[in-house]
Amino acid sequence: MVLLGAPGSGKGTQGEKLAAHFGIPKVSTGDALRAAVAAGTDLGRKAKRAMDAGQLVDNEIVIGIVEERLAQPDAAKGFILDGFPRNTAQAQVLDAMLVRLGQPAIDKAVHLQVDDEEIIKRLLDRAHKEGRADDKEDVIRKRIRVYNDETHPLLDYYRAQNKLVAVPGVGAVDEIFQRILRVLKH
């Protein structure tokens, strides 16, 4: 399963709940990239420059992180991707990667729909609570623009494969989770 939505749409929260519910790992490229940044690795330094500027991290860095993770034994039964793919090219690479790894194809792409102003409010609140330097208003607005320009076409990619399900991402966390479970049953 792939979780789609703008930064701050709730992919991380819902991904954790879905992973626990289905007993499969949630693979978050954001978490993996932040860990590399915190560790000060070469990959982390490259990622930090892009993240601080509100840009997407290079495809090859993200793809390497994802492939390494999906090759691990706990992902053999399934997985939830949060933050990857970010564009149609990455989705095509993911499809080929899954074949190469002997994994089944993506079954569903869940799009958490949240309007831009709600996203900005959520991310500013998170920045205040967590002290995240990448969540300043100008950077947030740029991340939303980048998402809309580069990631949004993924909706069409998965819609064309009849894999896209859309869920309103506003309301109580458990209410959103129940909406996701309902659409996954169909």
- Whether 171 has a binding-site annotation, put simply, is yes
- Whether 73 has a binding-site annotation, put simply, is no
- Whether 143 has a binding-site annotation, put simply, is yes
- Whether 23 has a binding-site annotation, put simply, is no
Active site residues: 11, 86, 126, 132, 143
- What residues pair up with 34 in beta bridges, in sequence order? none
Residue given tokens 């706990």 in the structure block: 74
Counting every residue, how long is the chain? 186
- Whether 44 has a binding-site annotation, put simply, is no
Nearest to 53 by CA among 135, 139, 133: 139
Quote the CA–CA distance of 153 and 174 in Å, as a whole number: 28
- Whether 9 has a binding-site annotation, put simply, is yes
- Whether 12 has a binding-site annotation, put simply, is yes
- Whether 86 has a binding-site annotation, put simply, is yes
- Whether 29 has a binding-site annotation, put simply, is yes
- What residues pair up with 27 in beta bridges, in sequence order? 81
- Whether 126 has a binding-site annotation, put simply, is yes
- Whether 169 has a binding-site annotation, put simply, is no
Q: What are the binding residues? A: 8-13, 29, 34, 55-57, 83-86, 90, 126, 132, 143, 171
Q: What are the binding residues for ATP? A: 8-13, 126, 171
Q: What are the binding residues for AMP? A: 29, 34, 55-57, 83-86, 90, 132, 143
